[in-house]
Structure 1
Amino acid sequence: MLIKNYANVPGNVCNLYFKNLLLSNQFILSFLMKKKSSATLKDIAKQLGLSTSTVSRALNNHTDINPETKKLVEKVAKELNYQPNIFAKGFRSHRTRIIGVVVPKISHYYTSTILEGILETAELNGYRVIISESKNNFEKQIEMLNTMIQFGVEGILLCLTRRTKDVKDILSVLDRIPLVLFDKVSSKIPCTQVIIDDKQSAYNAVEHLINIGKKRIAIFKETENSFNSEKRFEGYLQALKDNNIPIDEKLILSTEDISLKQGKRLTNIVLTLKQKPDAIFAITDSCAIGVIKTLKKFNIKIPENIGVVGFSNSFNSTIIEPNLTTIDQPGNKMGKTAVKYLIEEIENDSLSYKTIELRTSLIVRASSFKAS
């Protein structure tokens, strides 16, 4: 569960990201590996000739302990480098103020911006955060959820893996503690969910291509069991329908891993068509960048011959040439919103579930717009 790979985390979020994630890891390790030199309440009590209960009350600022004793206990605790066991304290008070977060892939740019928002808001509200990566593996996702509960988290923020079909284990978690889904969600799970307006976003992207004169627009999407992909596909279909453009099944291509590599592969496929597309809408930036690389390899002019639009406004969208037109997702806002609603549910048992849909914006760049 400890986070090891930071290589692909974007520079603009590194400082806060590293600081908090490393703190999260140290926080976990401090409970997994108790050092022999760690001072205990008994050590402080023995040195002062007091009972452990008196020392405990003094460190917790109880009114029945006189100020002088409190100062003395705090002084010795500092000298011995005493660190309170938050889990033990949590078990006594029934509060740990720890939130668990499970995501498919930590190094993904968009995920890193979501985590930034989560960490900032959680800290402002006095909560610690434990972050784990499911690696888009369903079994590992369930393992991580159960581990989070063992750590005593008060609530969990979950971004589902691509292969999440059976939700009974997630419903079991929901029966025990508050759980909020974000980004990749499921209608099968009755909980608060924070998403973007995927359908409208895709509609805007495709309509933009239509407005610049494109008529044969291909879409590269995920195969199945992806809430985001299906919503974006719905937006694509709706935009074509509203503009009286016939749907060509040959221009609808699906892949399980919507990556740069697959973007290249799918582009090679559509370029073999007798009637080639004049635009390609890829539901991720990485896939769209694979599209651009392949088109450039065959010296196909972008956007004159084929326009390209991606989704997420990743860091790489401004590096690739031509710069990629894309949908900008409010990752930081999603993280802040998700943790805000989770904390509300932790602290108010009677809150009802809701779906919060965040708006996106279309960023037009050179891959779909040729300056005159």
Structure 2
Amino acid sequence: MSKKNITTLKKIATELGVSISTVSRALSNHPDISDETKQRVNETAKRLHYVPNLFAKGFRSHKTSTIGVIVPDISHYFTSTLLKGIMQEAELNGYKVIVSESRNNEYKQAEMLQTMNQFGVDGILLSLARTTTNFDEILNTLAIRPLILFDKVSTKVPCTQVVIDEEDAAFRAVQHLIQLGKKRIAIIKETEKSFNSEMRYLGYLRALKTNNIELDESIVLSSEDISMQQGKRLGTVLISMKNRPDAVFAITDSAAIGVIKTLNKNKISIPSEIAVVGFSNNISSIIIEPKLTTIDQPGNKIGEIAFRYLLEEINNDTQISNKTIEIKTNLIVRDSSFKSD
């Protein structure tokens, strides 16, 4: 349909010989409009394929019943579980969701925030790009509408933040390996100082300290991209060492699976020679052999709770919260760290 044929309230009003205000109120089921008029207006609107302009309606009412969601990478399995939780909860509450991807680029992230503000969304859920160093656009947005950080967050933004127990989860993962008798435990983490990576590294360090195991920085490996490919590469680095580790904790399942593939290729027994633990519990963790021990991140639950807190702030114009909601995780023990009798 060309632009000149788009049906407007004015077009419906002209066809029926009533005012634009009458059409608008009839479509909104206003009690002042008779049932007969409502029926005529709705039938005409349907025949002319009228589609309401939500943003124009939002401009008038200062509410669009729409939220914006910005994530670093929409292709990740964990991200899909977050989005599913958000969208399910949004639908239950009569909200629509606009999803955008920053591609882990802070400039793209700032651009998306500007776009969401221009759309007039009621609130924004933001998972930070890995390289975020400039928080100006985030703080500007926070000054004009509710904004909540989730999953990838920062202490530099004074808003509600929904996260998992990153440090404690990593501590439990490494503690599990130590309880199996492993003493030389490598870690694969991010090069960039992302909140998630740093918190998981702190958990790793705490587990070593708790068990009086000295940190060996030669088996602390970092990569900007914590992918399966990098897991394979860093796994090769680890098994090439004269004094190999007897376990590997990777801060993502993808990297852990890459390590397993390298160990399998080199016929290194898992877990007796080298045990492996990942983080996320994505679908691939039960496909790889041996199946991967991992921290289960409840993405659906995180998404649901993030939306609920955002809705609470949308409905409470006078008070913006500044608190951290921490979601508990579970360690899922599988064959990569535990060999059944």
Give per-residue Cα distances to partners, 1:147-166, cap 9 Å, x unaligned: 11111111100000110011
Residues 279-288 or 236-245, more deviating: 236-245
Q: Residue 296 in 1 paired to residue 296 in 2?
A: no
- In the other structure, the counterpart of 2:121 is 153
**Does the 8 Å contact 1:99/1:154 carry over to 2?**
yes
- In the other structure, the counterpart of 1:9 is none
Residues 131-140 or 40-49, more deviating: 40-49
- In the other structure, the counterpart of 1:171 is 139
**Does the 8 Å contact 2:159/2:320 carry over to 1?**
no
Distance 2:83 2:104 in 1: 17
Q: Residue 141 in 1 paired to residue 112 in 2?
A: no
**Does the 8 Å contact 1:328/1:362 carry over to 2?**
yes
How far residue 50 of structure 1 moved from its aligned partner, in angstroms, is 1.4
How far residue 212 of structure 1 moved from its aligned partner, in angstroms, is 0.8
- In the other structure, the counterpart of 2:325 is 356
Q: Indicate the SS of the match to 1:45.
A: helix
Q: Indicate the SS of the match to 2:197.
A: helix
**Does the 8 Å contact 1:182/1:194 carry over to 2?**
yes
How far residue 36 of structure 1 moved from its aligned partner, in angstroms, is 3.9
Give per-residue Cα distances to partners, 1:224-243, cap 9 Å, x unaligned: 32101111001101111111
- 1:132 maps to which of 93, 97, 100: 100
- In the other structure, the counterpart of 1:20 is none
User: Where does the alignment leave 5 or more consecutive residues of structure 2 unmatched?
Assistant: none
- In the other structure, the counterpart of 2:59 is 91
Count, aligned residues: 340
- In the other structure, the counterpart of 1:311 is 279
**Does the 8 Å contact 1:165/1:225 carry over to 2?**
no
How far residue 35 of structure 1 moved from its aligned partner, in angstroms, is 4.2
How far residue 57 of structure 1 moved from its aligned partner, in angstroms, is 2.0
- 1:209 maps to which of 177, 182, 188: 177
**Does the 8 Å contact 1:334/1:358 carry over to 2?**
yes
**Does the 8 Å contact 1:161/1:184 carry over to 2?**
yes
Distance 1:324 1:63 in 2: 60
- 1:237 maps to which of 194, 205, 208: 205
Label 1:34 to 1:339 Cα distance change in 2 as closer, same or farther (>3 A): farther
Label 1:34 to 1:289 Cα distance change in 2 as closer, same or farther (>3 A): farther
Label 1:307 to 1:342 Cα distance change in 2 as closer, same or farther (>3 A): same
Give per-residue Cα distances to partners, 1:169-204, cap 9 Å, x unaligned: 211111111100000000000000000001110011
- In the other structure, the counterpart of 1:249 is 217
Distance 1:328 1:34 in 2: 50
How far residue 34 of structure 1 moved from its aligned partner, in angstroms, is 6.9
- 1:186 maps to which of 151, 154, 179: 154
- In the other structure, the counterpart of 1:79 is 47
TM superposition score normalised by structure 1:
0.89
Q: Residue 277 in 1 paired to residue 245 in 2?
A: yes
Paired AA for residue 354 in structure 1: K
**Does the 8 Å contact 1:164/1:225 carry over to 2?**
no
Percent identical pairs in the alignment equals 64
Label 1:189 to 1:218 Cα distance change in 2 as closer, same or farther (>3 A): same
How large is the RMSD of aligned CA atoms in angstroms?
A: 1.2
Residues 215-224 or 266-275, more deviating: 266-275
How far residue 37 of structure 1 moved from its aligned partner, in angstroms, is 3.3
Q: Indicate the SS of the match to 2:249.
A: strand
- 1:220 maps to which of 176, 180, 188: 188
TM superposition score normalised by structure 2:
0.97
Map 1:5-84 → 2, pairs under 5 A: 35-84=3-52
Paired AA for residue 147 in structure 1: T
- In the other structure, the counterpart of 1:367 is 336
